[in-house]
Every structure is written in C-alpha cells, then in structure tokens.
DNA sequence: CTTACCATGTAAGGCGTTACATGATTCA
DNA sequence: TGAATCATGTAACGCCTTACATGGTAAG
C-alpha cells in the first residue's frame, strides 16, 4: 500500500472516465498511452482481480451477443486511491533504450552495422509519428470537448515533440556514421 | 540463451574496454548510461556471478590498500556473446513516463496540481542537462580520442536533443495549463 | 570522530512478460 | 471455411529493486 503500483493507477485512471472490460483497457492503453506506457493481458487481468479484492472496482458480468464480458467500474475508494496517487510527486520516470545501448558499444561492430540500428530506429519512429500527429489534430479541433481533452492533448504533444527530436538526432547520427545513401 | 539478458550485455560492453570491479561498473552506468539505462548493485553482482559461471568473464581477487576487490575481465567467449547481441536488431525500447501518466489523468486533480508535476519534471531536466552538454563538449574536443568516442558522443547527443525537446514541451504545457508565474 | 565513499554481497518480494489454453463471433 | 477480432484468464519464469548486512579507508 505504501508504494503505489502503477498499473493499478493506470487502470483506475481509465475507469474514472468510463466503464471498461479488461480487453477494452488493453485497447485504450495501446492507443492512447502507448507512447509512454505499456501493459499486457498477463498483467491487466490479475491487476483487475487485485483491485476487485481491494474494493477499488466492481465487476459486472454480462452476456452480450453470446459473449461473456466482465465490465469493471471504479468505486469511491478507487477514486480516492487514484487522486491520492495523482497528488503525490512523481517517483521515477524509467527509460531503457536498447537502441542507445547498442549505439554506445557501437565500436565493437563498426559504423555500418551501427548505422543500420539507427535506420531501423528511424523507421519505427516515422511509422508511428503520423498517428501521433493525428491525435494532436483531433484533440485540438475538438471544441466541445470535455476538460479531460486538454490533458490528453498535452501527452500527445509530448509524443510529437519527442519523436521529432528523435528524428533530428537520427539525421545527425547518420551523418556522423557516414551515411552515403539517398 | 535465446533471449539476451540486457544487463549481461551492458556489463560485457563495459568490460570490453577495461577491467572493472562491480562497484566501478555501477559508477560507469550511473555516469555514462544514466540517460537511457540503469542498474542497481542488487542486479550487478548476481549478474557478474552468472557471467563468471558462463565463462564470459574472469574474476581476479586482489587486496588494494587493505581493501578487497574483485576485478572482472571479459573473455573471448564474452566478446563473442557481446558481438552477437550487438549484431541482432533491437528488440524493444522501453519507456515508462510516470510524469506523463499523471498528466494524462490530470483532469482528476486540476490544472494547478498538474502544472506542479510539469514544473518538477522541468526542474529535473534542467538540472541534468548541463552534465550532458559537458559530455558532448568533452567528447567533441577529444581529438586524439579512440574510435569508441564517436559512439559515446552519439548517445550524449541523443540525450541533449531529447532533453531540449522535453524543455520545449514543458514551456508549451505550462502555457496551456495557465502558468502565471514569472 | 564522524561522514562520505569504497566495496561486496544476499534475501524477500514485486512486477511484468511470454506462452499457453480456450472459445465465441464476424467478415470476406 | 478460415482469418481476424472479441474476450478472459493461468503458469512459468525472468528480471529487477529495496532493504539489509558488513566492514574498511579517507578526509574534514
């Protein structure tokens, strides 16, 4: 209880706006949070059970189109827990760039191979950037939006900013690594 | 063996340039890699034992100034392992920004508190940026440097680029969150 | 003399991933 | 009819952090 489990808070945060199934939660995370957070089913379902046990959420089992669903809702206790966590300072941001690790030791494989790592990083970013740009556009033009939109916009803007910085760095790195293509 | 344990490779990477104690390894990580990787003693020492067991490193116990030290060196097998890992494509970069999480759910605590989270993020970055700038300067001016310097420079440049993007974003976010200070 | 740093390690426990297992529905 | 998507979960296992435990040296 002392140290806050992050996934608890992510799920409570999502449930604070709408009722969701475990499956929906995964989708929300993969869509809106993917640029700074991730989670697998193997962690989501057990976490939901834990939250249910702690009475942070309630579970409603229904049958829809012949499919069994478990819809979760946040309780008052859950809202309190979420707010408490939101209120305390950030403990730690964690980044682990395997790409950078391979770059750091690049001397051991040479420029050519290192350049390929940079290129593949670049491609990944270029592929994801349009989605982020879209998010920003959608959120900026949603006039009638709820207050919460403002905060979604902030995180999307962060993604755009950082991804563009990545790309700028890629260009410089490729120059230094003697890229002769294009 | 199939999936490569990253810390194995980090340690082998560091040992590929110089002999080090576990304590030194921690220092190297905290200094040069801290912007994109971290490790604690609780993971370093057991990992070193594992590497010793797999004959990736050798251990030499000496007494220096009355202090017991264990100095590790990389073996040929270790070098091969490292190169193999460096050679394969990056599996996954992992980022987990707790700050962004708190931002995303900012609606639940309001603009003022959210703004404080952004400010504290900004401060942390501003405090670390000068070290990164220094690294870049030192590495750029090290004319007689080894080939490896080029790769260290690339990672330091990455840090500078990204940290500056963070700061730009902070400025925008603070404006949106109605910062009235200064 | 006491604080900081050097130096090594273990134990408990948390958190999370991957792979597996199952089964229904929708759409082409 | 087969692939994709909806939907829920478990089990094994890996990796890491924190806290604990210990003890020496250097510097003020």
Q: Is the CB of residue B69 inside 7 Å of nucleic acid strand D?
A: no
pLDDT in the model for residue B65: 82
- Count of C-beta atoms within a 10 Å radius of residue B109: 19
List the B67-74 sheet strands across, edge first. B20-21, B67-74, B57-64
Separation of alpha carbons A122 and A181, rounded Å: 14
Contact A70, B122 (CB under 8 A): no
pLDDT in tens, B95-120: 999 999 999 999 999 999 999 999 99
A26/chain B closest Cα distance in angstroms = 15
List all nucleotides in chain C with at least one atom under 7 A from a protein Cβ. 6-12, 14-20, 23-26
pLDDT in tens, A96-145: 999 999 999 999 999 999 999 999 999 999 999 998 998 899 888 876 66
Provide the token pair at B44: 């370093």
Which residues between 83 and 142 in chain B have a beta carbon less than 8 angstroms from any beta carbon of chain A?
83, 86-87, 89-109, 113-114, 117, 120-121
Model confidence, pTM: 0.93
Interchain proximity B83–A162, CB inside 8 Å: no
Reading chain B (182 residues) residue by residue, the pLDDT tens digits are: 445 899 999 999 999 999 999 999 999 999 999 999 999 999 999 999 999 999 999 999 999 888 899 999 999 999 999 999 999 999 999 999 999 999 999 999 999 999 999 999 999 999 999 989 988 988 888 766 678 899 999 999 999 999 999 999 999 999 999 876 54
Reading chain A (182 residues) residue by residue, the pLDDT tens digits are: 445 899 999 999 999 999 999 999 999 999 999 999 999 999 999 999 999 999 999 999 999 888 899 999 999 999 999 999 999 999 999 999 999 999 999 999 999 999 999 999 999 999 999 989 988 998 888 766 688 899 999 999 999 999 999 999 999 999 999 876 54
Separation of alpha carbons A33 and B18, rounded Å: 40
* Ramachandran class of A181: left when φ > 0, alpha when ψ lies in -120 to 50, beta otherwise: beta
Helix, strand, coil fractions of chain B, as percent rounded to 5: 65, 10, 25
Query: For residue A35, what is the nearest residue in chain B, using CA coordinates?
Result: B95
Provide the token pair at B32: 């040069």
Separation of alpha carbons A166 and A8, rounded Å: 30
Nearest to B79 by CA among B28, B16, B158: B16
DSSP, res A29? I
Interchain proximity A87–B113, CB inside 8 Å: yes
Interchain proximity A96–B101, CB inside 8 Å: no
B50 touches chain A (CB under 8 A): no
Interchain proximity A109–B83, CB inside 8 Å: yes
Rg (CA), chain B: 21
Separation of alpha carbons B149 and B47, rounded Å: 26
DSSP, res A88? S
């Amino acid at each position: 209880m002392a140290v806050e489990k992050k996934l608890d808070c992510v799920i409570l945060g999502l449930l604070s706006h709408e009722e969701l199934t475990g499956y929906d939660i995964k989708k929300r995370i993969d869509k809106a949070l993917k640029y700074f957070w991730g989670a697998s089913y193997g962690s989501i379902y057990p976490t939901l059970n834990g939250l249910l046990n702690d009475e942070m959420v309630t579970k409603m089992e229904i049958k829809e189109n012949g499919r069994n669903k478990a819809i979760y809702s946040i309780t008052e206790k859950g809202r309190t827990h979420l707010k408490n966590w939101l209120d305390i300072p950030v403990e730690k941001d964690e980044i682990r760039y395997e790409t950078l690790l391979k770059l750091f030791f690049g001397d051991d494989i040479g420029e050519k191979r290192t350049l390929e790592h940079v290129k593949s990083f670049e491609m990944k970013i270029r592929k994801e950037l349009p989605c982020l740009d879209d998010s920003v556009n959608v959120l900026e033009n949603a006039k009638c939006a709820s207050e919460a939109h403002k905060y979604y916009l902030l995180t999307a803007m962060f993604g755009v900013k950082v991804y563009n910085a990545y790309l700028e760095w890629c260009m410089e790195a490729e120059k230094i690594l003697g890229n002769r293509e294009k």
